[in-house]
């Protein structure tokens, strides 16, 4: 499997990809996350993301993701401050944030392993691919487009804001949970060109 959960770097990368997909965060948002942005013991566990324009948004986390995060924090953050990057590397005994290029290289590496194991992957894998894939999966499984835009921190909601109210974290959590339970193979048919264009532009 990729990443290899038997190594420390593999466990870090595995957690990073799980959270990246679950939250559909921008890669810059993922790399800038700190431990203090996690709220795992709230009634609805969530992550606070600092996005474009220095604007915050709260993203509910799935139960499995919370379980993974608690194990990850125990292994990687027992002796770090709450302002420590959530995902980091050590060099000469010092912690430093990961770079965009590091994650890009990681995704290409694991994509290659998946292809070698018989899994179909894009010819040119890249970071934004995960964000787009999450948005498409949620939409195919019935999550309202307005909620997807809110999840992604997309400011231009003029087209859909007249049809859907701005979601509370509870509403967003229920919407995501419902979409996650659906069988992706039995989702919406991709026959609406306007919707396709909106998803691809997110």
pLDDT above 70 covers a percentage of the chain that reads: 81
Query: What average pLDDT does the segment 7-14 reach?
Result: 93
> For residue 184, is it within any domain?
yes
> Residue 185: what pLDDT?
45
> For residue 3, is it within any domain?
no
> For residue 2, is it within any domain?
no
Higher pLDDT, 166 or 143: 143
pLDDT band at 66 (very low <50, low <70, confident <90, very high): very high
How far is Cα 70 from Cα 79, in angstroms, rounded to an integer?
14
> Residue 164: what pLDDT?
38
> What are the two backbone dihedrals, phi and then psi, of residue 81, each rounded to the nearest 5 degrees?
-85, 165
> Residue 165: what pLDDT?
43
Task: Give the model confidence (pLDDT) of 149-198 as tens digits.
Answer: 888 887 765 433 433 344 667 777 777 787 777 544 444 444 555 655 66
> For residue 141, is it within any domain?
yes
C-alpha neighbours within 13 Å on the C-beta side of residue 53: 6
Q: Do you know the residue count of the chain? A: 202
> Residue 196: what pLDDT?
52
Task: Give the model confidence (pLDDT) of 13-28 as tens digits.
Answer: 999 999 999 999 999 9
How far is Cα 48 from Cα 25, in angstroms, rounded to an integer?
11
Q: What CATH code is carried by the domain that includes residue 96?
A: 1.10.443.10
What element of type H or E holds 174?
helix 169-181
Taking CA 164 as the corner, what is the angle to CA 160 and CA 165, rounded to the nearest 5 degrees? 120
Over 90: is that where the pLDDT of 75 sits? yes
Closest CA to 106 of 34, 52, 36, 31: 31
Query: What average pLDDT does the segment 38-67 reach?
Result: 93
User: What is the chain's mean pLDDT, rounded?
Assistant: 82
Domain residue limits at 47: 8-201
What is the DSSP code (8-state) at residue 52?
G
Query: What average pLDDT does the segment 44-54 reach?
Result: 91
What element of type H or E holds 8?
helix 8-23
Under 8 Å between Cβ of 32 and 103 = no
Over 70: is that where the pLDDT of 117 sits? yes
Domain count, the chain: 1
Over 90: is that where the pLDDT of 128 sits? no
How far is Cα 117 from Cα 160, in angstroms, rounded to an integer?
41
Higher pLDDT, 3 or 62: 62
How far is Cα 125 from Cα 142, in angstroms, rounded to an integer?
26
> For residue 37, is it within any domain?
yes
> Residue 157: what pLDDT?
53
For residue 168, give Cα distances in angstroms to 37, 63, 151: 18, 18, 11
């Amino acid at each position: 499997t990729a990443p290899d959960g038997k190594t420390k770097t593999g466990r870090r990368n595995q957690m990073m990809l799980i959270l990246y997909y679950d939250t559909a965060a921008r890669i810059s948002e993922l790399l800038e996350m700190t431990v203090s942005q996690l709220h795992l013991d709230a009634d609805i566990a969530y992550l606070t993301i600092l996005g474009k324009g220095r604007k915050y948004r709260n993203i509910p986390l799935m139960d499995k993701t919370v379980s993974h995060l608690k194990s990850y924090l125990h292994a990687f953050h027992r002796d770090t401050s709450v302002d420590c990057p959530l995902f980091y590397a050590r060099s000469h005994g010092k912690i430093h944030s990961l770079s965009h290029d590091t994650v890009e290289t990681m995704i290409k590496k694991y994509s290659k392993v998946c292809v070698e194991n018989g899994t179909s992957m894009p010819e040119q894998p890249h970071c934004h691919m995960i964000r787009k894939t999450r948005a498409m999966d949620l939409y195919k499984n019935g999550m309202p487009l307005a909620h997807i835009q809110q999840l992604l921190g997309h400011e231009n909601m003029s087209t859909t804001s007249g049809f859907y109210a701005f979601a509370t974290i509870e509403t967003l959590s229920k919407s995501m949970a419902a979409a996650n339970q659906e069988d992706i193979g039995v989702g919406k048919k991709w026959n609406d060109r306007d919707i396709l264009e909106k998803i691809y532009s997110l």
